[in-house]
Structure 1
Amino acid sequence: MAGDETIVGGGRFDTGRDGYMAMRKYAKQWPNRVWAIEGCQGIGRHIANRLLADGEQVVDVPPKLSARARVFATGQGRKTDATDAHSIALVGTRMAGLRAVVNEEQLALLRILVDRRRSLGDDHTRMVSQLHQLLLELIPGGAKKSLSAAQAKALLATIRPRDAVGKARRRVAAELIADLERIYRAPRKPTRN
């Protein structure tokens, strides 16, 4: 659709590789094109990401806006592929301020790393707390709160419980120390693109 809302072309393309390539080839006749895709955070994400990866400009058309445009353009809200495409193109042409879709790979990468770091931090806090509780139960008077894994290991080596509960506490404490040591010596490799 041109800026004056004149329909300049159209077609049906399947979602497979061949359909996508045919659509891209067809669209090359408009060198200054912007793709208006409905729901780029949902059902439209797949095609939007493919277009972005190929260097195309994409704007996200919220489904509510395209539904309103469909009602205004047709006088009713019935959905067909043709009316959907037309209403999405109308919104893409008429509406200023639509969100430009960007490659969010870097954001996704950072989110994955932050989630992993948070998870390790939560695990660390939980393990240290559990270890401290076990040491309180194994050692009269307990142990200081801020022990390194090496200090906790040395302290645990001095404890020889005789009852089954004490032995279980010592075994679990040793496992927690081993888990903490594993976290502490995990290699920190920088990520490369």
Structure 2
Amino acid sequence: MHATLRALAVELVAEIGHLDRRISAAGEQITTAVAATGSSLTELYGIGPLLAGKILVRVGTAARFRSAAAFASYNGTAPIEVSSGDVVRHRLSRAGDRQLNHALHIMAITQLAGDTTGRAYYPRKRAAGKSHKEALRCLKRRLSDVVYQQLVHDTESTMAAGLGGQQGAALESSATGLHPNTGTSDQSLPRLADPDATPKSRST
């Protein structure tokens, strides 16, 4: 009995080691593919190569969206108002690309853990009466604007260089400051100049 259990344990450890090597190799391939697109998403705090790869594959090109508001609607961060009387509330939208929404969620959580503008933005929303979930949704909505603007910037840079702007397609083939006075509406933000928002992140 003990010999059988030991043999199974050895087999499982070997399998885990094999899977770990495959994951590492895939991660390296995605990192290389993201770098090949010329994307600057990894300059945003909370976005590493793997998360950038997911965003690029899900989005394709920023030209698909007419505005930051359209992008927020696509990724499900645009809030839905559920007001009652004098109380104005917003609830989570279940629509949109959930994988892209999850990528923005990871970015938001990472920003909250670091010394970032996102972390400074969150307590202001809590102080304004928002619950934790509501404040987090507000942050994700702001970060959606930031990511959209970065995608637009990259697309414009790529087009200016005469490379066509097919970042998402190329990746898929290769890898098979938050404004304190802005609400949670469809208003967009200027490009962040805050250095806290642009260091390269180790997050994936």
TM-score bracket for the superposition, by shorter chain length:
under 0.3
Higher relative contact order (CA 8 A, sep 6+): 2
Q: Which has the larger radius of gyration?
A: 1
TM-score for the superposition, normalised by structure 2? 0.25
* Bigger helix fraction: 2
